[in-house]
Amino acid sequence: MFASKRWRRSITAIYLFCLYASLGIARSVAEYLRTQNLLRLTVSALFSLVLPAVLLWRFSVTGRQRMLRRVMLLLILLAAAFILSHTPEERLHFLTYGLLGWLFSWTLEEQQVSLFWPLLFVWLAGTGDELIQGLLPNRVFDLRDILFNGIAGAAGIAIFATGRAKTWQAK
C-alpha cells in the first residue's frame, strides 16, 4: 500500500498543502498555547513523539553503523534546534521541515535519484513558505527561517538515507 509512487506523492503533497494551509492560523494557535503556558510543553511533546519513531524507522534493515549515524544526526539536529532557535515556534521548523525532507526522499526513493533533488525541493518549499508568510497580514518573511527550513530538511534527508537497505547512489 505505502509502496506505490502515487501513494507516496499524494502523502507528500497533502503534507505540504497542510503545512502551507496552516500558515494563516499558526500564529494564533501559538499565541493561544503561549497564553495557556502550553507552547513549550506542546513542542517538547512533539519532539518526544517523533524521536522514537525516527530511531525505530526501518530498524531491522539498519546496521549498527547506520544506527549510530542516525543517533548522531538526531543529536546534531536537537542541538541545532535548541541552540540556533530561541522560541518554540522556531524549533518546530526542525520537525516540520525535517519531516518534509524525509517525505521528499521517501517519495523519490524508487527512482533512486540523487539526494540533490529532495534537498532542492525542500529548500524551494521552505522558500515558498516564507514568501507566502510575507503576503499574510499577521506573518513576516524571514530569511533565517528559510535557513532553518533548509537545515531541517537536509537532516530529514540524511536520516532517511541512514534507513536505506542499500546505499543511495548519486546520479
Enumerate long-range contacts of 68-71, CB under 8 Å, 24 or more apart: 69/162, 70/159, 70/162, 70/163
* Residue 8: CB atoms within 10 Å: 18
Q: What pTM value is reported for the model?
A: 0.85
Alpha helices in 85-142 (DSSP H): 88-108, 116-135
Answer yes or no: is pLDDT of 169 > 50: no
Give me 134's grid cell.
510575507
Residue range 92-107: mean pLDDT, rounded: 91
Q: How far is it, in rounded angstroms, from Cα 10 to Cα 37?
A: 36
Kindly report, residue by residue over 30-78, the tens digit of the pLDDT.
999 999 999 999 998 998 888 788 777 776 666 777 777 777 877 877 7
Positive/negative CA dihedral, 142, 78, 80, 33: positive
The dihedrals phi and psi of 165, each to the nearest 5 degrees, come to -70, -35
Q: How far is it, in rounded angstroms, from Cα 101 to Cα 96?
A: 9
Which pLDDT belongs to residue 2?
58
Answer yes or no: is pLDDT of 112 > 70: yes
Kindly report, residue by residue over 116-162, the tens digit of the pLDDT.
999 999 999 999 999 999 999 988 999 989 988 998 899 889 888 88
